[in-house]
Chain A
Amino acid sequence: MLMGLFNYWIVVVLMMIGLYIVIAHGNLIKKIIGLTTFQTSVFIFYISMAKVDGGTAPILADDIIQYSNPLPHVLILTAIVVGIATTAMALSLVVRIKEAYGSIEEEEIQQQDNQIQEDEKNGRQA
């Protein structure tokens, strides 16, 4: 009984590790790595659901009766490539942020933003 849900529990653990990195770390690259960890855990979840005991890879051959479910494989196959494309997009935003602020730590960026806002306020008052 315990082993029956083991894969899903590991998926939850990996997902929560990803979520923790996204919440608790200020470094933007670390945050993106957290997101990819989260993403991979979803991949593992789908593929675990597709597995059938005694089944093989879904490539038709004559003397095989049991196949694993091909549909989740298709969904995840495309999701992986879309995932790297969107991750690249996020990384390019990080590069631009580094160029604009000189830092990729969330707190330093926030500080600079607050500074700019205050300066503007003071300028208006003066």
Chain B
Amino acid sequence: MKKLLAIALAALMSVSMVACGGGTSSSAPAASTASGSGSTAAAADGEKTVIKFANYALLENGYTEFWEGVKAGFEEKYPQYEIEWVTAPYGEIVNQVINQAGGGDKPDMIFGESSWIPTLQDAGLTIPVSEIFDQAYLDKFDPSVMDACKVNSEVYGLPMYSCTFMLYYNKDLFEQAGLDPNAPPTTYDEMLTMAEKLSTLTTADGNKVYPFGQTTASVAISGSAINSMVYNFGGTVLDENGQLATDNQGFKDAITMLQTLDEKGYNPQNAKLKDLRQLFATGQLAMYYDQSWGFNGVLSINPDAANFTASAKPLSGGEGNGAAMLQAHILAYMDNGEERKEGCRLLTEYLITEEVLKDYMTNITPAYPVIEDMKDMELNPVLEGATGATDNVINTPSIPMLNDLNLELCTLAQNVTVSDTDVDTAIEQFNSAAQAYVG
């Protein structure tokens, strides 16, 4: 009897295993098909069509309430639709979408950054926005921002709002250093002069105050920030065809500036943007480069930061004119049938309006509007000093391995800072490593 029972249990386990194993390849697409047809059938029965929306911001401080409000408002206005969130942390959301899509369950929309578009397009995860929206609607968007979302002349993500890497500075620390809090630096030379005074400051509890912050940690967004700094100096990393183009003075000047900042102890070494935000919020950093919406991270650490923070345009250095890299938060779309594409269209047209975004952009995420209908909208006061920054921007050429290139830029920055390699050798090593990611 015991033997029979044992065999029965073993057989049950085996059958369960086979059933589980088969699920990954055969049942997932079946489930997806069922879900897709279910949506259609459901709609025919007067039930709701589900829009699967991949959005990392749901998990971030300060953003949850806004996005839940969008869901509630949209579902109230369009009761035939229901938004279903797909969430993962910022650094993992693309992998989450890839895994889900690989299993046959593609989300309908992704909220992300313009720098993600080449990767998403190369992976076959986005469709051109022209398949969702009519030309009249697309014509309302700022053409220069739309250019930042193009791959092979086709727009693959619709911008919600834009910014550049801009300078945030602490007016109180400027005053303490005897500097005019209403006259931030406009060039790297001015910044170095001011930094000398700022570097003598300490916080109330004796901690060092860093004069200037530029992120160089090993994350792709730090690479974008370094690329933007190269533009400040009039240099390039890639040419317009997406080929490596670092043999220029601006590129060398930018990397040399990173080394100078490190040698003088002005820039916190190997810091992520979130480290810089933490230091800035706690009065340990006098100025730093960030995307405009990074200020929300500062506010979430220190709500009083609004009282001492001001912004300024990106600095110019060498032969450069202070141009910077354009950044945008975007919505990218996947093809899950006409009905769900229509839901995405309605949701987007509901979302990118002054009515929905005004409070968000004024109080939560400082950024610049990109659609004609919102051009007269009141901006977040912290952006006042950087007004016009988005008029002097450069779009990075789209290459599928942009993330890798950005990580190599971080390695280059670390090479001339924490590894003390000379600039020419470090650039040579960068060129050798980066060549594998272009062309």
**Pair from one complex:** no
Residues of B near any A CB (own CB < 8 A): none
Residues of A near any B CB (own CB < 8 A): none
